[in-house]
Structure 1
Amino acid sequence: MLARSPGRVADYLDAIAQLAPLIAKHRDAFDTERRLPDTVFNALADAGLFRLWLPRAFGGPQLSPTDFMSVVEAASMLDGSIGWLVGNGGGMSRAGGYLAEPVAREFFSDPRAFIVSATAAVGLAHKVEGGYRITGRWPFGSGAHHASHFTALASMKDASGNEEPPRFYYFRRRDVVIHDTWRVSGLRATGSCDFEVRDLFVAEQHAHDFIGVSATQDGVAYQLPAVSVFAWTVATVPLGVARGAMNAFVELAGRKARQGQVTTMRDRDIVQSNYGRADALHRAARAFLIDAMSQLTAALTEDGPRLIEARAVFRTACTHAAETALRIADLLAAETGTGSIFETSPFERYVRDIQAATKHIAMSPNNYVVSGRVGLGLDPGTFRF
């Protein structure tokens, strides 16, 4: 399958559907290898799923936020790790909208380019002639084993010793040491290992601001606040995994009877009620998430209370979506019974993948505190929201 140029969302959804048999074939290796098999990663890359936010100027589709969400959800329905890497990799292709054009063209000349990112500002940068010297070790490098480039936040002090706002610095794969730290319960195939550089020179053109970054390309994805756009790439995953669990439950309920009963699960009133409840929960949380993103994009041209409120409510929607996905997974697993705890059951994977995804800071319960403060007329209490 050739790398895709700009196309309709339907093309990506069709590509994901065609990849389902390949993913099912290799799924057992997801847990044992704790990374995607090369065959699966390359198939995703060749389908263009790591270029979803690449600017049109570089041959990318430059999807809208809601179209991006639809594609990530579809990938997440197949498998949580697949969705997580499509969200992260496809999301980080937006680097083409921040970097200088020659640098962006160089990075994405590889049709299988995949940029791994870390947003914890735990690195240190020192200004030198022509660029910076960077040292740091960052956790949660999703897709690290398949990266072409890495980017991470690092802090720097000015001449007076005052800490400046962190910036993003980009590294080549050959300059990075990957530490095998990803021994976890859920999202195991994301290979989200620590990565490290020591006293690495990074040219000025391979760095840009984090807060208030100036876009080099036109497009909504490049105008969104940095913290918000990072949240969107991961908060869209749990609802997709939950819908995958719902689809699996429909198939199971049509053929299985609970122990001691003759009728299939789907013929029981309680099962019908709980599935209907799960569907309502999913639709409501998804609608809230989309509405919050719509309100945020509508407020981008402003720099005042409306934008602050929109950013705070958006983060609430991310947390609400995560909590809803957890509730749906627990509800369906309870209906499935003890069968859901076996590794042979898809529900076992759905549950632990959702549990792992929702631990991400983008979906932290603290987001309710921020939106609550703003709603009560207080300041947000943090700049990262």
Structure 2
Amino acid sequence: MLSEDLSKIILSASSEIEQTGTLPDDLLQVAYEEQLFKLFLPKELGGRALSLPDAAHVFKDTSFNDGSFGWLTTIGSGGNLFLENMTEAQAKELYLPANAVIAGSGYATGKAHAEKNGYRVSGKWRFCSGAPYASMFTANTIIWRDGKETDEMRACIFMPDQVEIVEDWNAMGLKGTGSHTIRVKDAFIPHDRTFSVIETQNALGLPVHSFPFVQFSQVSFAAVCLGLGARFLEEAHKLIEQAKSRWDAEKIAGTVSLLEEQQERFNLAEQLFHNAVERRWDMHLNGSLDDHELDQLSAVCMESSDIATDCAVQLFRRLGMQAVLETSPVNRAFRDLWTAGQHGFLNRS
């Protein structure tokens, strides 16, 4: 799904992404031009209007080239899912700019005190991937009325000048995602810049916008893990080839055999994943997607990410000291894969 030229651009920026903790400006510009943060927006809003199966290939391919870039492509595009929840006027205003991209959080860790025509909001939200360059932020809040907490929850849309970014993302992997905490203090948010994730307010949506959100997210993050798993296996192959002059014949034979075994496991999991996504997407389009099929899709997504991670685990200890260096590509793929797989939608516990 990616051109060879785009893949080269991403790969060439990979070290800088890791070192600086965010995307360099020139790569951001490429992402805007390629509409990588608008995969699920209609063409009238400058989007690519992709199906979920096609987008899964994009997420996998971008993650193969650079884990942080792939994660940010996935998260940035995922923000498109709020399109129908906004008023039509707000959706067009906020999504139409070429550099439109959401960062935010689904955790309801903010308070929104109801006022005339809007809300007075304060709160803090963690793990907001893409925070350094987001054109807008969304975060869930609990509504307070007349000084009392209610059971109502609404998402608020913040502009960058209303948000303080607390640079606290210090994870073992996906270091370039800028997944920082955001803080908002006493910001007024007009009512039309809030929304409910269960309410539709316009007719701009595509078929993907009615696909169940949990499985949409599982497909997206599993695709990232598969891209990173493929990258790990490729880098492991390179490292083994380089080590053949140093290792004895028995170690070479054993490690090559293990690599081939794990590659076969991975290839099967990858194919099953794409087949499962295609099947459920077709069922979604013809109106026959039911809870059983969704449960099966969830299981496939978690299993495929588990297999990708386990393949890396099985091989890692056989790769020698080069693999433990953080500057090693195989090390970074390993760290990024472990970090991506920790997302709650993929974690069975």
Do both proteins adopt the same fold according to a TM-score greater than 0.5, normalized to the shorter chain? yes
Indicate the residue corresponding to 1:184 in structure 2.
Answer: 171
Name stretches of at least 5 consecutive residues in structure 1 with no aligned partner. 1-9, 367-385
Amino acid at match of 2:64: M
Aligned pairs, number: 348
Question: Residue 75 of structure 1 contacts residue 86 of structure 1 at CA under 8 Å; is this kept in 2?
Answer: yes
Determine helix, strand or coil for the equivalent of 2:345: helix
What CA distance in whole angstroms lies between the structure 1 residues aligned with 2:92 and 2:332?
A: 38
Among candidates 84, 90, 93, match of residue 71 of structure 2: 84
Residue 370 (structure 1) aligns with: none
Q: Which residue of 2 aligns with 1:245?
A: 232
SS of 1:167's equivalent in the other structure is strand
Bigger shift: residues 341-350 or 162-171? 162-171
Q: Does 1:278 align with 2:278?
A: no
Aligned partners of 2:212 and 2:235: how far apart in 1? 36
Give the 5 Å matches for 1:340-351. 340-351=323-334
Distance 1:317-1:160 versus aligned 2 partners, 3 A rule: farther
- Deviation by residue 1:209-233 (Cα, 9 ceiling, x = unmatched): 2246566334221102233333333
CA shift in 2, pair 1:183/1:129, >3 Å: same
Is contact 1:54-1:95 (8 Å) kept? no
Structure 2 unpaired stretches of 5+? none
RCO (CA 8 Å, sep 6+): is it higher in 1 or 2? 2
In the TM superposition, residue 77 of structure 1 has moved relative to its aligned partner by 0.4
Question: TM-score scaled by structure 2?
Answer: 0.88
Moved more, 74-83 or 155-164: 155-164
Q: 1:349 to 1:201 in 2, by over 3 A?
A: same
Summarize the Cα distance change of 1:156–1:100 in structure 2 as closer, same or farther, 3 Å threshold: same
CA shift, 1:167, in A, is 2.5
Q: Which residue of 2 aligns with 1:326?
A: 309
Can you list the C-alpha shifts for 1:342-367, whole angstroms capped at 9, x where unaligned?
1232111011111111111111113x
Pairing 1:209–2:193 present: no
Residue 62 (structure 1) aligned to one of 34, 37, 49: 49
SS of the residue corresponding to residue 84 of structure 1 reads helix
Question: Aligned partner of 1:96: which letter?
Answer: L
> Could you say what secondary structure the match of 1:151 adopts?
strand
2:95 to 89, 108, 127: 108
Give yes or no for contact 1:245–1:347 (8 Å, CA) kept in 2: yes
User: Is 1:166–1:210's contact at 8 Å kept on the other side of the alignment?
Assistant: no
Deviation (angstroms), 1:97: 3.8
Match of 2:187 in 1: 200
> Would the aligned equivalents of 1:148 and 1:173 in 2 still touch at CA under 8 Å?
yes
Counterpart CA distance in 2 for 1:242 and 1:353 is 9
Deviates more, 1:96-105 or 1:86-95: 96-105
Give percent identity, aligned residues only: 25
1:52–1:68 contact (8 Å) kept in structure 2: yes
SS in 1 for 2:107: strand
What's the TM-score once normalised by structure 1's chain length?
A: 0.80
**Cα distance in 2 for residues equivalent to 1:361 and 1:206:** 27
